[in-house]
């Protein structure tokens, strides 16, 4: 007898995986857009591996508490302060790669203009 969670896990592990290549390519494209945009404004950032977020350090000019970087109000781009994830996130940003590539490209364009 299976419990519902066991049955769901078994189905998921034995189910189709053909969607993964397309999904992975989509996230790589989004990641590339964000990393390129962040590097264009001088942030040191690596391409994230197997994640749906990017976590660059704050720009040196904004090296104060995470809450001090207010791009949402200035350019309508939402970047979550890393401090929301605990003390080890302080000094970093979190950018979700779950938005469409076109929208992420626009956000990086606005960030570049804001940082200029």
CA-based torsion, 91, 39, 116, 77: positive or negative: negative
Q: Whole-angstrom Cα distance, residue 86 to residue 76? A: 24
Question: What is the per-residue pLDDT for 13?
Answer: 92
* 39, containing H or E segment: helix 19-40
The count of domains in the chain is 1
pLDDT per residue of the chain (116 residues) written in tens, 0 to 9: 669 999 899 998 998 889 989 999 999 999 999 999 989 988 888 887 777 777 777 766 654 555 556 677 778 888 777 888 888 888 888 888 899 999 999 999 998 888 87
**What's residue 43's pLDDT?**
83
Residue 71's domain is classified under what CATH number?
3.90.1150.10
pLDDT, position 68: 52
Structure tokens at 34: 């964000």
**Helix or strand holding residue 81 (H, E):** strand 80-81
CA distance 17 to 110: 36
Domain that holds residue 85: 4-115
pLDDT of 33 reads 95
Residue 69 confidence (pLDDT): 61
Beta-bridge mates of residue 96: 53
Residue 31's contacts (CB-CB under 8 Å, 6 or more residues apart) are 47, 48, 54, 97
């Amino acid at each position: 007898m299976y419990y519902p969670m066991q049955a769901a896990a078994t189905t998921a592990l034995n189910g189709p995986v053909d969607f993964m290549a397309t999904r992975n390519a989509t996230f790589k494209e989004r990641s590339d857009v964000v990393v390129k945009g962040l590097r264009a404004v001088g942030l040191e950032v690596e391409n994230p591996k197997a994640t749906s977020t990017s976590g660059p350090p704050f720009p040196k000019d904004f090296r104060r508490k995470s809450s001090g970087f207010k791009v949402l109000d200035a350019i309508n781009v939402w970047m979550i302060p890393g401090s929301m994830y605990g003390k080890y996130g302080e000094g970093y940003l979190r950018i979700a790669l779950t938005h469409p590539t076109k929208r992420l490209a626009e956000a990086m364009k606005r960030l570049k203009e804001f940082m200029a």
